[in-house]
């Protein structure tokens, strides 16, 4: 007898969609068949809905431990679950940072008490002598901040900054020996600092609109990122490390050509397409000031990068900060943190783009389930609809039209750039190992129900 049968839904993979029933037993997919007749404790009718493999959010800053006034594992995962995700990957700029085995284990233990979704975390690559031990923890990979802020403002902690290219090279050497990927926030921090001070900080042009102009000119999150990427790609080629490029699409356009060229030369380079700059126009950015820095890119350009296969994954980074921390940025924008809210808002936005014909549901599955699962050693347990794998599902209603309001925000920081925005296409149910976590926007899972899922041997994970 089954625990649950999902009836009458349309299953979507990266290659096809078809109508079928899903039989769930002991937290796994026991069968996929037409007109399942087994008895079950629960029958869930999904007629008219689409069943995707559970989506993976690969770029969460849950600020836990150490900065939990902004967010914590529980509130951050509530936002992710409400946004249609079933698995999250947390970043490293916490306090303490997971730069050694003791800190990494403490973070894992804390997460297991609070999480409602399955999860894993990056290990922080900062000290070469700790790389080997961290690789044995089951971490999905390493994270490097190849950057520091012009005014040394969090979230770019100086402890984690790797701006010395000799150190970066040595870290790549050590990580390559582990066969794990390394995810990198690239920059050329000396250039950015010099330009920011010369053009803005020293003259006293420091308002939010000045910061917006600095982004548009490529001084902030622009040319420096491309410079850092160019050097990193060469170091990755020398060492053979598998490089996962963060903030692709946020930089200036030349990052596309650099990554394409590296791939043509045989390098394994993944591009995480950051979609928020394509979702915010100049009017919305001006309205939200210090809450919205990156903006103004053509959504059709993002769609092209998705359709042609340049993007390996796509995401709206989840990087919350409180209004109290951001409000001073209306006048002093160079001394506040950059905030990005994406775990809950992302999927309704991209489903709306699907309804507009920009790309397909199959592309979402490829970039937000299958590819991240393969890259991070979770496939096929996660990111697939295969018999014998975890029964993780993101169920979406492509016809549902609803207004997103600030009252819906699950994040502890409590704000959104999309208050009053109407989206067509919504996640309506998330399931993790056969248990419902979110249904119709309501979180029903308990703290501690989410499990740490270690990276597995990736020798048979398949190409991305």
Tell me the pLDDT tens digit for each residue of 287-332: 999 999 988 899 999 999 999 999 999 999 999 999 999 999 999 9
Confidence class for position 355, pLDDT limits 50, 70, 90: very high
Distance CA 190, CA 164 (A): 11
Query: Can you tell me which residue has the tokens 């591009």?
Result: 271
pLDDT at 460: 40
Distance CA 41, CA 435 (A): 12
pLDDT at 155: 75
Confidence class for position 457, pLDDT limits 50, 70, 90: low
pLDDT higher for 159 or 227? Answer: 227
Distance CA 115, CA 195 (A): 42
Among the listed residues 81, 56, 76, the one whose alpha carbon sits nearest the alpha carbon of residue 64: 76
Window from 227-231, 336-340, 369-373 with minimum mean pLDDT? 336-340
The DSSP string of 257-275 is HHHHHHHHTT--EEEEEE-
Q: How many CB atoms lie within 10 A of CB 443?
A: 18
pLDDT at 463: 57
Q: Give percent above pLDDT 90 in the chain.
A: 92
Helices 223-239 & 254-264 angle (0-180, nearest 10): 10
Looking at residue 47, the DSSP 8-state letter turns out to be: T
pLDDT at 158: 82
Tell me the pLDDT tens digit for each residue of 133-185: 999 999 999 999 999 999 988 777 788 999 999 999 999 999 999 999 999 99
How much is the mean pLDDT over the chain?
96
Residue pair 436/429 in contact by the 8 Å Cβ criterion: yes
pLDDT at 296: 85
Among the listed residues 100, 76, 101, 79, the one whose alpha carbon sits nearest the alpha carbon of residue 90: 76
Tell me the pLDDT tens digit for each residue of 70-79: 999 999 999 9
Distance CA 125, CA 120 (A): 16
Residue 456 half-sphere exposure toward CB, CA atoms < 13 A: 12
Confidence class for position 459, pLDDT limits 50, 70, 90: very low
φ, ψ of residue 378 to 5 degrees: the values are: -110, -10
Residue pair 105/144 in contact by the 8 Å Cβ criterion: no
Domains of the chain, earliest start first: 2-51+387-443 (2.30.40.10), 55-375 (3.20.20.140)
pLDDT at 157: 72
pLDDT at 261: 97
CA distances from 125 to 1, 143, 356, 452 (A): 47, 6, 41, 20
Residue 462 has pLDDT above 70, yes or no: no
pLDDT higher for 252 or 112? Answer: 112
φ/ψ region of 273 (left if φ > 0, alpha if ψ in -120 to 50, else beta) reads beta
Query: Can you tell me which residue has the tokens 């609809």?
Result: 385
Q: Tell the burial category of 16 from Cβ atoms under 10 Å away from its Cβ (0-12, 13-18, 19+).
A: exposed
Residue 330 half-sphere exposure toward CB, CA atoms < 13 A: 6
Tell me the pLDDT tens digit for each residue of 383-433: 999 999 999 999 999 999 999 999 999 999 999 999 999 999 999 999 999
Residue 302 half-sphere exposure toward CB, CA atoms < 13 A: 32
Residue pair 86/394 in contact by the 8 Å Cβ criterion: yes
Tell me the pLDDT tens digit for each residue of 205-221: 999 999 999 999 999 99
Query: Can you tell me which residue has the tokens 């995810």?
Result: 183
* Helix, strand, coil shares, percent, the chain, to 5: 35, 25, 40
Among the listed residues 285, 292, 323, 337, the one whose alpha carbon sits nearest the alpha carbon of residue 412: 323
């Amino acid at each position: 007898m089954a625990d649950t049968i999902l009836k009458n839904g349309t299953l979507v993979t990266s290659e096809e969609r078809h109508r079928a029933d899903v039989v769930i037993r002991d937290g796994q997919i026991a069968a996929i068949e037409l007109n399942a007749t087994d008895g079950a404790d629960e029958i869930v009718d999904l007629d008219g809905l689409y069943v995707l493999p559970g989506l993976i959010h690969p770029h969460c800053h849950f600020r836990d431990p150490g900065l939990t006034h902004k967010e914590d594992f529980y509130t951050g995962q509530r936002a992710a679950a409400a946004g249609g995700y079933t698995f999250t990957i947390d970043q490293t700029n916490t306090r303490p940072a997971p730069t050694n085995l003791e800190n990494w284990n403490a973070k894992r233990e804390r997460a297991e008490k609070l999480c409602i979704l399955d999860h894993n975390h990056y290990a922080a690559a900062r000290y070469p002598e700790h790389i080997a031990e961290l690789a044995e923890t089951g971490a999905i990979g390493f994270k490097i901040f190849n950057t520091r802020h012009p005014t040394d403002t969090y979230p770019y902690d100086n402890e984690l900054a790797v701006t010395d290219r000799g150190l970066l090279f040595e870290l790549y050497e050590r990580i390559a020996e582990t066969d794990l990927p390394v995810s990198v926030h690239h920059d050329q921090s000396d250039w950015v600092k010099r330009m920011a001070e010369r053009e803005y900080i020293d003259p006293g042009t420091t308002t939010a609109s000045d910061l917006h102009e600095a982004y548009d000119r490529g001084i902030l999150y622009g040319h420096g990122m491309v410079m850092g990427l160019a050097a990193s790609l060469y170091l990755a080629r020398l060492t053979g490390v598998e490089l996962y490029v963060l903030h692709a699409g946020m930089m200036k356009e030349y990052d596309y050509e650099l990554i394409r060229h590296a791939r043509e030369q045989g390098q394994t380079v993944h591009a995480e397409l950051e979609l928020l700059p394509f979702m915010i126009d100049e009017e919305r950015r001006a309205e939200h000031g210090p809450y919205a820095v990156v903006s103004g890119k053509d959504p059709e350009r993002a769609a092209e990068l998705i359709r042609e296969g340049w993007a390996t994954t796509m995401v709206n980074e989840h990087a919350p900060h409180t209004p109290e921390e951001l409000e001073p940025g209306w006048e002093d924008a160079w001394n506040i943190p950059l905030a990005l809210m994406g775990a809950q808002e992302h999927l309704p936005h991209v489903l709306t783009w699907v309804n507009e014909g920009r790309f397909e549901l199959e592309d979402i599955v490829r970039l937000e389930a299958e590819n991240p699962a393969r890259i991070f050693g979770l496939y096929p347990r996660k990111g697939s609809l295969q018999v014998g794998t975890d029964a993780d599902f993101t169920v979406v209603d492509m016809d549902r039209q609803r207004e997103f309001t600030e009252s819906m925000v699950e994040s502890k920081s409590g704000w959104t750039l999309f208050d009053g925005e109407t989206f067509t296409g919504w996640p309506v149910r998330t399931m993790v190992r056969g248990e419902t976590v979110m249904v119709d926007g309501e979180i029903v899972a308990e703290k501690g129900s989410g499990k740490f899922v270690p990276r597995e041997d990736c020798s048979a994970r398949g190409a991305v």
